[in-house]
Amino acid sequence: MLEAYITGVGAFLPGDPIPSERIEDHIGRIGGKPSLLGRRALGWNGVATRHYALDAQGRAQHSNAGMCAEAVRAALDDAGLGREDLSFLAAATTQGDYLVPGHAAAVHGELGGEPLEIASFQSVCGASLMAAKSAFQAVRTGEHAVAVAAASEFSSRWFRPSFYEGTALLDAKGRLRAEADFLRFTLSDGAGAIIMEPRPRPHGVSLKVHFIDAVSMAGSFEPCMWAGATVEDRGATWGHVGPAAAHAAGAVALLQDFELLKRVIRAWVGVYLKKVDEGRIVPAEIDHLLCHYSARSLRDELLQLLEKTAGMIPEEKWFSNLPTVGNIGSASIWVMLEAFLKSSRLKAGERVLCVVPESGRAFVGFMLLEAL
């Protein structure tokens, strides 16, 4: 097997940073009224600004695939490469522009150019590392000399009032269920990409990829963040009743189960501690931690357990751009990596651990990098 190195990183954030008090101009007000839960959600999340691909009138300024293609171009440019050098595209998203076909086809369509090998990954935040694993293997086996793993999200268009109005998700007073409303103030838009090659780039920082581990515990847990079924009956998916009836029942909007989330968080920590126990992750050898999390309040819950079990990576080693960009789902980890590299904190020989938990259905991924 060959080695694989990250030789370029790119990010695309649509529009200007939007401060918390203007969020509802972009995602809209359900029934014309501001959300009460929204203000509390923003407090828990600890996010000051974020980006939307919708303008202040709620009109789309980009497509999901278009943002992804912008991030791919930026990553290629960062690596000193062009579109013609690329031979493999792995693209991730939570909800693509089309229901069918896959996201990678749409991104290739936006990029244009010669034929490519493509792979589409549809999940939630963890789709990023699923795509990265695919690019990693493509490079390591020698099948491709330049591979890109890209991820993008256009969550905000799913948060427009028309996704909720006239559905069972609103109560008699027109208030949206917490399972739906919380996410409207949690997720934002954007894209990120990494280039992988079998050797470091001639100049500048390259990151050797030691491993990417993607662990699903869906065999044990019900969906925790989903679209396509109601809160009450997660087993009956929307296709059985058709789109109009599913929409009316509240089965089309993006939803989250907070009670289940608490159990899923413990499952993530369990997987992490098992990796520590097996020696796959050695906390003392990690110089920087890039952990994707959607809310500061979630992070604080984990600290005590990690400290007691010698699994903690000291807080001064954590890097996050959550306060300025929010949670961009699958794109988050690459947008965070891009900001981290720009911050010039990284020195040659240092190790970076990326952790991407996904509440979708109890998934967590890890990627260990070493700076050259």
Partner 1 sequence: MSEVADVLRRLAVVFAEFEGRLEQTPLIRKLTRGRFTLEDYRAFLVGLRQQVKDGALWMSRAASNVDEAHLELRSHLMRHAVVEHRDFRLLEADYLGTGGELAEIQGAEKNIGSEALSAWMFHEASKANPFGLLGAMWIIEGLGSIKAAEWGRLAQSRLALPDTAVRFLLYHGENDVSHMAEFEEMLALVLPDAQVSARIVRTAQVTARLYALQIEEIAA
Residue closer to partner 1, measured from CB, 266 or 347:
266
Cβ of 209: how many Cβ atoms within 10 Å?
A: 23
Residue closer to partner 1, measured from CB, 160 or 263:
263
Using the rule CB under 8 A, which residue among 274, 342, 345, 347 binds partner 1? Answer: 274
Compute φ and ψ for 7, nearest 5 degrees. Answer: -115, -5
Record the tokens describing residue 193, joined without a space. 């990409």
Cβ of 300: how many Cβ atoms within 10 Å?
A: 9
Q: Is 83 in the site for partner 1 (CB under 8 A)?
A: no
Question: In angstroms, what is the minimal distance from the CB of 267 to partner 1?
Answer: 5
3-state helix, strand, coil in the chain (%, to 5): 40, 20, 40
Please, are residues 277 and 306 in contact by the beta-carbon 8 Å criterion?
Answer: no
Residue closer to partner 1, measured from CB, 135 or 271:
271
Q: Is 270 in the site for partner 1 (CB under 8 A)?
A: yes
Stretch that binds partner 1, among 70-78, 302-310, 333-341, 342-350 (CB under 8 A): 302-310
- CA angle 106-111-113, nearest 5°? 115
Residues in binding contact with partner 1, number by CB under 8 A = 29
In angstroms, the CA 41 to CA 178 distance is 10
Specify the amino acid at residue 13: L
Residue closer to partner 1, measured from CB, 36 or 310:
310
Q: Is 236 in the site for partner 1 (CB under 8 A)?
A: no
Question: In angstroms, what is the minimal distance from the CB of 351 to partner 1?
Answer: 18
In angstroms, the CA 32 to CA 102 distance is 35
Using the rule CB under 8 A, which residue among 143, 277, 285, 301 binds partner 1? Answer: 277
Using the rule CB under 8 A, which residue among 48, 205, 241, 276 binds partner 1? Answer: 276
Please, are residues 189 and 71 in contact by the beta-carbon 8 Å criterion?
Answer: no
Compute φ and ψ for 55, nearest 5 degrees. Answer: -85, -175
Stretch that binds partner 1, among 27-35, 45-53, 164-172, 226-234 (CB under 8 A): 226-234
Q: Is 309 in the site for partner 1 (CB under 8 A)?
A: yes
In angstroms, the CA 214 to CA 8 distance is 22
Cβ of 174: how many Cβ atoms within 10 Å?
A: 12
Q: Which of 235, 234, 233, 253 is nearest to 243 (CA)?
A: 253
Question: In angstroms, what is the minimal distance from the CB of 230 to partner 1?
Answer: 10
**What is the β-pairing status of strands 147-153 and 88-93?**
parallel
Question: In angstroms, what is the minimal distance from the CB of 231 to partner 1?
Answer: 8
Using the rule CB under 8 A, which residue among 2, 310, 318, 343 binds partner 1? Answer: 310
Q: Is 2 helix (H, G, I), strand (E, B) or coil?
A: coil
Question: In angstroms, what is the minimal distance from the CB of 170 to partner 1?
Answer: 19
Record the tokens describing residue 267, joined without a space. 């499952």
Q: Is 178 in the site for partner 1 (CB under 8 A)?
A: no
Q: Is 267 in the site for partner 1 (CB under 8 A)?
A: yes
Which of the residues 184 through 213 are near partner 1 (CB under 8 A)? none
Question: In angstroms, what is the minimal distance from the CB of 317 to partner 1?
Answer: 17
Using the rule CB under 8 A, which residue among 117, 222, 350, 370 binds partner 1? Answer: 222
Question: In angstroms, what is the minimal distance from the CB of 274 to partner 1?
Answer: 5
H or E stretch at 303: helix 296-308
Q: Is 232 in the site for partner 1 (CB under 8 A)?
A: yes
In angstroms, the CA 295 to CA 363 distance is 17
Residues forming contacts to partner 1 in the complex (CB under 8 A) are 217, 219-222, 232-235, 259-260, 262-263, 266-267, 269-271, 273-274, 276-277, 304-305, 308-311, 362
